[in-house]
Amino acid sequence: MVATRAADNAVYVCYVNMVGGQDELVFDGNSVVFDQDGELVAHGPSFEEHLLVVDLNLEALYLARLHSPRRREEGLSAYEREVEEVFVSDAPVTATRPPLPASAAPPLEDEAEVYQALVLGLRDYVHKNGFETVIVGVSGGIDSSLVATIAADALGPEHVVAISNPSRYSSEGSIGDARRLTDNLGIRLMIIPIEPAHAAYLQMLEEPFAGTQPGTAEENIQSRIRGNVWMALSNKFGWQPVLTCGNKSELATGYATLYGDMAGGFAVIKDVPKTYVYRLARYRNRVAGRDLIPQAVIEKPPSAELKPGQLDTDTLPPYDVLDPILEAYVEEDRGLEEIVVMGFDEALVRRVVNMVDRNEYKRRQAPPGVKITPRAFGRDRRLPITNRYRY
């Protein structure tokens, strides 16, 4: 667009962009200068403040514009003729220094661009709001591992406190993965088992729950205990905000616990689909040149570990099937019939669409987070909670 405007009007165009985070928005820099032919002259870097200095030959451009067929046909004004005489009659200017070389920062690849946006968005949210140290609940899963890594990159390891709250259903592998992650990142790890509180809750609710089968209510007690622990530590030591670790796929389908894993002040990856979470984890490991995020975390099937043998696929379709449906429905505004035509099972699409619609009330209570897709929940896509229409 900028190149076209420059060429159409035979002018240089300097397009200057802001850098920094503001709540959900992240301004990415990437300022550019195009010449009169629509060619890129200079390109600023992404996601960092930068002084971009460019040498432009305005005299030559002005004379070229005056001698263009269109201007000659229209006729020059008295002022333009006067300027032309000055430019033509003046002795050549002797340069006191050689012209500056062109400066063109290379554009970032997809994962690098998204990762840097998340880092800058979190850093500015914390610093600009006067915070210093954040809390991340680490489970040994992929989402909390990525959030902890982003936080360490954004704020420095000394400003990140990781909390592990193992329950009776937490595997030794997950606890070990959380420890390996925090060791790799150099961040502080506090291990606070929740079994005493969990047992007390179950005992307290034994009478009202009598005669019922254990289910979601019992599972979510664990998540809510963890949220209470995080907020207690935040209040006690001034570590804020608590960073939630839910991704866009979970938020879309309601696969998150109110007042549990949704408890916190900033949701770093709330606009990152689950399949892209894995891409970002692999990208960060490539940059590090080692398994900063343990390979076991990336390879194991995702699980909330709230009951024996639990997997995300017990409740949700596989993420490589779910995410394209969510992208079509949420970001591209496609209807059910259009998504089915794309090759998806109608019953599955209907199920996913209804999950998205009926969980709007949860999303209204979620903290803000960085926008990295064309349409993020919250600022870009808001449905009425009270809505009788269903597919």
Query: Predicted confidence band at 78 (pLDDT cuts at 50, 70, 90)?
Result: confident
Query: Predicted confidence band at 89 (pLDDT cuts at 50, 70, 90)?
Result: low
DSSP state of 233: H
- Residue whose pair of structure tokens reads 């399949």 in the numeric block: 275
The amino acid at residue 85 is: E
pLDDT at position 169, please?
Answer: 86
pLDDT at position 370, please?
Answer: 96
Tell me what the mean pLDDT of segment 239-258 comes to. 94
pLDDT at position 357, please?
Answer: 93
Least confident of 5-14, 263-272, 290-299, 338-347: 5-14
- CB count within 10 Å of CB 69 equals 7
What is d(CA 244, CA 367) in angstroms, rounded to the nearest whole number?
8
Q: Where are the domains of the chain?
A: 2-89, 112-364
pLDDT at position 328, please?
Answer: 96
Tell me what the mean pLDDT of segment 76-97 comes to. 64
Distance, C-alpha 187 to centroid of its chain? 22
- The overall average pLDDT reported for the chain is 90
Tell me what the mean pLDDT of segment 64-76 comes to. 66
Bigger pLDDT: 255 vs 310: 255
Q: What is the pLDDT of residues 10-56, one digit of tens each?
A: 889 999 999 999 999 999 999 999 988 899 999 999 999 999 888 88
Q: What pTM was computed for the model?
A: 0.88
Which long-range contacts link 290-293 to residues 24+ away (Cβ below 8 Å)? Answer: 290/184, 291/184, 292/149, 292/184, 292/185, 293/142, 293/145, 293/146, 293/149, 293/181, 293/184
* Contact (Cβ atoms closer than 8 angstroms) between residue 32 and residue 40: yes
Q: What is the pLDDT of residues 93-132, one digit of tens each?
A: 555 667 777 778 888 999 999 999 999 999 999 999 999 9
Tell me what the mean pLDDT of segment 349-374 comes to. 94
> 112-364 belongs to which homologous superfamily?
HUPs (3.40.50.620)
Residue 325 CB contacts under 8 Å (≥ 6 apart), including other chains: 317, 339, 344, 348, 349, 352, 353
pLDDT at position 92, please?
Answer: 54
